[in-house]
């Protein structure tokens, strides 16, 4: 037993990476959303969100969802590396999972970019919750 513990503790992982890649994060505009007509209270719903990568160094990092009562502001977050990016538009879809945890209606606002005045624009949906 002591020998096994000693071997595990002496065997370590190298956390140094030979590459000097820097990862940044950026918001990607949402193109389309397939919202349900209604949510069922207490159930988890899958919401397909469609967006585009603009180069080969972008990859999906997740959704940023901020909430204020029953309003949800949703943005797509991409991680971006600085390694020889090729320009390539790639349309993709990721699913946002949402639990309808309260009654009434939910308002979803999906970030679609910035307008001419650098103000954010959104696709907005109001979805009722049924029992």
Comparing C-alpha atoms, which of 106, 34, 107, 113 is closest to residue 75? Answer: 113
Rg, Å, the chain Cα set: 21
> What are the structural domains of the chain?
22-130 (2.60.40)
What is this structure's pTM? 0.79
Contact 60, 94 (CB under 8 A): yes
Sheet with 44-55, strands from edge to edge, namely 30-33, 44-55, 87-99
**pLDDT of 66-111, one tens digit each?**
999 999 999 999 998 876 777 878 899 999 999 999 999 999 999 9
Comparing C-alpha atoms, which of 66, 51, 64, 60 is closest to residue 78? Answer: 60
């Amino acid at each position: 037993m002591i020998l096994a513990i000693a071997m595990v503790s002496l065997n370590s992982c190298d956390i140094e990476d030979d590459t000097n890649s820097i990862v940044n994060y950026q918001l990607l505009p949402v193109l389309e959303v397939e919202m349900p007509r209604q949510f069922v209270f207490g159930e988890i719903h899958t919401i397909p969100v469609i967006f585009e990568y603009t180069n080969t160094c972008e990859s999906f990092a997740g959704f940023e969802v901020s909430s204020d009562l029953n309003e949800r502001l949703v943005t797509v977050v991409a991680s971006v590396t600085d390694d020889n990016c090729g320009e390539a538009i790639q349309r993709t879809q990721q699913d946002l999972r949402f639990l309808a945890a309260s009654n009434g209606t939910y308002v979803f606002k999906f970030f679609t970019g910035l307008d001419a005045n650098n103000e954010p624009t959104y696709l907005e949906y109001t979805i009722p919750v049924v029992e």
